[in-house]
Amino acid sequence: MRSVLRWACRGEAGDEEAEGQHPAGTGRRRPRVTVELHAHSACSDGSLSPAALVQRAHQNGVKVLALTDHDTMAGVPEAIEAAKQCSIRIIPGVEISAVHSPSDGIGVDEPVHILAYYGSLGPEKSQELDRFLGSIRDGRYTRAKEMLLKLRSLDMPMKLEDVCTIAGDGVAPGRLHVARAMVEAGYVENLRQAFSRYLYDGGPAYAIGSEPTGESVVRLVCRTGGLAVLAHPWALKNPVAVIKDLKAAGLHGIEVYRSDGKLSGLSDLADTYGLLKLGGSDYHGRDEKDEPDVGSVDLPVLAVSGFLDVAQPIWRNATKEILASKTERSPGLNGSKEFQLTSSGKDFCNVCLFSPDLGVTDASEVEVLETEFADIVLS
């Protein structure tokens, strides 16, 4: 409990500070810390800029926010910068589009979204991840074109440029952007109608992209020092088969909590397969009244501490790899600003460890890291 609070409420006192932070002001006595593990910005299909999202999360009492845009981490630096103003911790994240093909050959392919959570220095082997995400984004243009072709055959002609304008500068178009274009063109009354009539999975205007398999995404997330979590499994036709196959590939957890509470069937599945039970609002800032707000999921402290128990060793290892590859690239660390300010490797470790970006606050953790870094940096 204390470790969760210390992690979440950096720079604050702890228990008392975290109490009663819930925006709804429910007056509950038990200490809670609002952690939001699933939210989108305008860098994918959300409506708020990363900075505005952070601001809104802060207003809602969020202490830790994972930015999980679709197939891009472009908003993370802005979110981290904005978070400095309001002492929110940002988890660099991404929601990766994939497809699951049943391993037994029976059943149908279905889209799956894998959330990836990284440590404060981001992914290791970040170029590999960037290339991977880049090719998924390219595939989204092809997919948008396909959806427009289908809509045209349904007598709803629209231009790709219009969809891209709605998506915004440099943002790969997605289904939501197509839906917005349909509303603007007057083909449907609202987004809900666009989805329920045409764009739902397998719907008449739905197109599956050239997405990678769920397993390959999970393996990539593991390889790049992240935690892989299956997003909204309640939307799957065959959650058991998906969870079983992804677990075999290294999946760490599944979403089980929503704004309306815990889903017991999925919670049981998580227990069966030894997976973390997590969740988030999946906030997009759509102009819909019933959209759960950022920070509205009541993630129990136990779930957060389970998440940290699994995440921290993975993130620590990634941090080590990132720093090691940095030192490899600049022999003698000459290129490093930090190193120029320090006289020894040990000092360099200290600078790295106590840098606000890294966010290591636990003394014993620092000790472990110091020993590990000393091996790398000084050898």
Where does this chain bind Zn ion (CB under 5 A)?
Answer: 95, 113, 231, 282
- Tell me whether residue 36 or residue 282 sits nearer to Zn ion (CB atom): 282
- Select from 256, 231, 230, 258 the least CA-distant residue to 244: 230
For the CB of residue 71, give the shortest distance to Zn ion in the complex, in Å: 11
Task: Give residue number: closest CB to Zn ion.
Answer: 113
For the CB of residue 46, give the shortest distance to Zn ion in the complex, in Å: 9
Sequence-distant (≥ 6) Cβ neighbours of residue 295 within 8 angstroms:
23, 34, 36, 57, 60, 61, 62, 281
- Tell me whether residue 286 or residue 320 sits nearer to Zn ion (CB atom): 286
- Select from 210, 276, 220, 202 the least CA-distant residue to 243: 276
- Tell me whether residue 176 or residue 311 sits nearer to Zn ion (CB atom): 176
For the CB of residue 125, give the shortest distance to Zn ion in the complex, in Å: 24
Q: Are 63 and 21 in contact (CB under 8 A)?
A: yes
- Tell me whether residue 47 or residue 305 sits nearer to Zn ion (CB atom): 47
Amino acid found at 178: V
- Tell me whether residue 110 or residue 124 sits nearer to Zn ion (CB atom): 110
- The pair of structure tokens assigned to 29 is 């006595």
For the CB of residue 97, give the shortest distance to Zn ion in the complex, in Å: 8
Sequence-distant (≥ 6) Cβ neighbours of residue 353 within 8 angstroms:
360, 366, 369, 370, 373
For the CB of residue 38, give the shortest distance to Zn ion in the complex, in Å: 6
- Tell me whether residue 230 or residue 377 sits nearer to Zn ion (CB atom): 230
Q: In sequence order, which ranges of the chain are alpha helices (DSSP H)?
A: 2-8, 15-18, 50-59, 76-83, 126-153, 160-167, 175-184, 191-194, 214-223, 239-249, 264-272, 301-329, 337-340, 345-353, 363-378
For the CB of residue 325, give the shortest distance to Zn ion in the complex, in Å: 30
- Tell me whether residue 9 or residue 299 sits nearer to Zn ion (CB atom): 299
Q: How far apart are CA 181 and CA 184, in angstroms?
A: 5
Q: Are 149 and 346 in contact (CB under 8 A)?
A: no
Q: Are 146 and 175 in contact (CB under 8 A)?
A: no
For the CB of residue 27, give the shortest distance to Zn ion in the complex, in Å: 31
